[in-house]
Amino acid sequence: MRTLPSGLQIDDTRTGDGAEARAGCEVQVHYTGWLWKDGEKGAKFDSSRDRNETFAFELDGGMVIRGWDEGVQGMKVGGQRTLIIPPQLGYGARGAGGVIPPNATLCFEVELVAVAGGSEPMDLPFETTASGLQFHDAETGAGKEAIAGSRVRVHYTGWLWKNGAKGRKFDSSKDRGVPFHFHLGGGEVIPGWDEGVQGMKEGGRRILIIPSELGYGAYGAGGVIPPHATLCFEVELIKV
């Protein structure tokens, strides 16, 4: 059993040889869940196998408990993994549905049946700043440079980011067809933007990988960005 920094424990009881589950993928699984205490399984509270029906969800999309979003990533189709999920990654102090008590540790056996979609890992020569921000200029602009105090107009798209790949898209000015305006360096946006857009030139396009401490931190945002999330933005500088 391997313990991750979050406190999640995982054990691959069977290694699959199919497609890998990554953030943003639609996955189908079979699972059985038990309460877990003193290193042993307790009462079984749910099983897709008992219903003879797989369960599908978007991985790292906030559709399931955090222990699942973290624990299923990296599995391959055909694989089976045991997850020991501490309460802070499960149902916490509230429990769930009368069958999972407050502050319960859970055990799941998960079999990955199918994977669809998801992004390939992004292999780009990112530069890393002293703050931990990473950036790559996909296109270098030839116009006016964005400096602190400038009012800038940008188009952007944002995704969750995990294991070197884009996950779920959570926002895009391009989808709305309306550029976004802000004063650079004025604290109107997350720190990763205030730092990451500086130095761009009009017409340029930059990819930013923003660690959680330069993004939305321990609180997340708006129900679409989970706590401690690393973010990926593609930003196009339209006007300074």
How do residues 60-100 score in pLDDT, each as one tens digit?
878 899 999 999 999 999 999 999 999 999 999 999 988 99
Q: Is 166 helix (H, G, I), strand (E, B) or coil?
A: strand
**Which of 2-6, 20-24, 126-130 is predicted least confidently?**
20-24
191-220, pLDDT tens digit by residue? 999 999 999 999 999 999 999 999 999 989
Q: What is the mean pLDDT of residues 48-58?
A: 93
pLDDT category at 33 given cuts 50, 70, 90 is very high
Q: What is the mean pLDDT of residues 21-43?
A: 93
pTM of the prediction?
0.59
Specify whether the backbone of 54 is left (phi greater than 0), alpha (psi in -120 to 50) or beta: beta
pLDDT reading at 25 higher than 90 = no
pLDDT for 138 equals 94
> How far is Cα 71 from Cα 137, in angstroms, rounded to an integer?
33
> How far is Cα 114 from Cα 54, in angstroms, rounded to an integer?
10
pLDDT for 86 equals 97
- Known catalytic residues are 31, 45-46, 65, 91, 108
Q: What is the mean pLDDT of residues 138-149?
A: 96
Q: How do strand 80-85 and strand 9-14 relate by DSSP bridges?
A: antiparallel
94-139, pLDDT tens digit by residue? 999 889 999 999 999 999 999 876 666 677 899 999 999 999 999 9
Long-range pairs of 185-194 with CB within 8 A, sequence gap ≥ 24 = 185/148, 185/149, 186/149, 190/214, 190/215, 190/216, 191/131, 191/215, 192/133, 192/231, 192/233, 193/233, 193/235
% of the chain exceeding 70 in pLDDT: 98
pLDDT for 161 equals 87
Amino acid type, 161? W
pLDDT for 146 equals 97
pLDDT for 118 equals 64
Q: What is the mean pLDDT of residues 26-39?
A: 95
Q: What is the mean pLDDT of residues 221-238?
A: 91
Compute the mean pLDDT over every residue in the chain, rounded to the nearest whole number. 93
